[in-house]
Amino acid sequence: MSADAGFKEAVDSFAAALALERGLAEKTQEAYLRDVRALIAFLSRRGRSSVNAVVRTDLTAYLETLHQAAKRASSRARAFTAIKEFFAHLREMRFIASDPMEGLEAPKKGVALPKILPEEAMRRLVESVAGTDPRDLRDRAMLELLYGCGLRVSELCDLTLESFPEGAEIVRCTGKGSKDRIVPLGHAAGEALARYLASARASFDRGNRGERHLFLTRLGRKFTRMGVFKLLKQRAAAAGLDASVVSPHVLRHCFASHLLAHGADIRAIQEMLGHASISTTQVYTHVDQARLGEIHHKYHPRA
């Protein structure tokens, strides 16, 4: 290999290694190459013309630009990994004599806080679907269950008529790892579901009594995840909300965060969400702490 390889030769070699040896997903390969090419554009502006001319201060300067550009912590962490893999490959292939990334520490990812809508926005979204035609009754029941029970979109799609034991105010759903769990069915969700079953579902099953899925499309088929996404975006836009920040998972986050804000026990929320580990659920305590911080800053005389 060239002892003074140009950037193109080095990147081409790295791209081939990613494709043939690393077993990474195609999107991950593309992301790594984007990160490396962005670095090389930076290095070129600093007057570097080959990988052998790159020194550690070049790399620390580039990583600092990512931080100053307010790149997300996850994006900075991925860029660090891509660059580290790139130079490790160059060292292995003897493009460079020493690795300038050696000893550099990866940026901390931090806690990725989930997106949450205010309670008023959630109320507006759900109550905006107030019609009595079959589609409105179906969509209102879907919204009430997503927000009122904290269901994943796949869990909502998989619900059947047998998911609601007669006379019991609960819903049975199957989550990740095919694990069953029971979630309380609130008053609003229960009423919306009852209206849908009494007056609307028969309009969707097209006389196919063997179809047991709870929510059906106009073609009488089980909803897909993308079908629910599309429906929710349309309803959010109609309610005057920014549809780009509304998704089934955001409603699940709202379910957990709003419960916590009103004093619910974190362990109970864990059970209702179906999280295997309490550490997954504890992200909502960070959300609530952020809300408390805003309140303190707004109202405390010494804040």
Whether residue 34 has pLDDT greater than 80: yes
Active-site pick, 76, 140, 213, 252: 252
Q: What architecture is domain 119-299?
A: Orthogonal Bundle (1.10)
pLDDT digits (tens, 9 = 90+) for 108-130: 665 566 788 999 999 999 999 99
pLDDT digits (tens, 9 = 90+) for 235-258: 999 999 999 999 999 999 999 999
Active-site pick, 37, 222, 275, 291: 275
Whether residue 62 has pLDDT greater than 90: yes
Whether residue 301 has pLDDT greater than 80: no
* Phi–psi pair at 50, nearest 5 degrees: -150, 160
* Phi–psi pair at 262, nearest 5 degrees: -100, 15
Residues with Cβ < 8 Å from 218, sequence gap 6 or more? Answer: 135, 204
Topology of domain 7-92, CATH: DNA polymerase; domain 1 (1.10.150)
Residue 123 designated active-site: no
Active-site pick, 89, 138, 152, 213: 152
Residue 253 designated active-site: no
- Burial of 135 from C-beta contacts in 10 A (0-12 / 13-18 / 19+): middle
pLDDT digits (tens, 9 = 90+) for 197-239: 999 999 999 889 899 999 999 999 999 999 999 999 999 999 9
- Burial of 220 from C-beta contacts in 10 A (0-12 / 13-18 / 19+): middle
User: What is the secondary structure of 152-211 as a DSSP string?
Assistant: -HHHHHH-BGGGS-TT-SEEEEE-GGG-EEEEE--HHHHHHHHHHHHHTHHHHSTT-TT-
Active-site pick, 176, 179, 206, 212: 176
Whether residue 285 has pLDDT greater than 80: no
Average pLDDT over residues 267-286: 86
Active-site pick, 62, 147, 196, 284: 284
3-state secondary structure of 123: helix
Residue 108 designated active-site: no
Active-site pick, 222, 249, 286, 291: 249
* Phi–psi pair at 182, nearest 5 degrees: -115, 130
What does pLDDT average to over the chain?
A: 88
Residues of the chain above pLDDT 90, percent: 66
pLDDT digits (tens, 9 = 90+) for 71-106: 777 888 899 999 999 999 999 999 999 999 998 888
Q: Where are the domains of the chain?
A: 7-92, 119-299
Residue 187 designated active-site: no
Separation of alpha carbons 239 and 243, rounded Å: 9
Residue 252 designated active-site: yes
Whether residue 189 has pLDDT greater than 70: yes
Average pLDDT over residues 10-16: 93
pLDDT recorded at residue 1: 42
Residue 249 designated active-site: yes
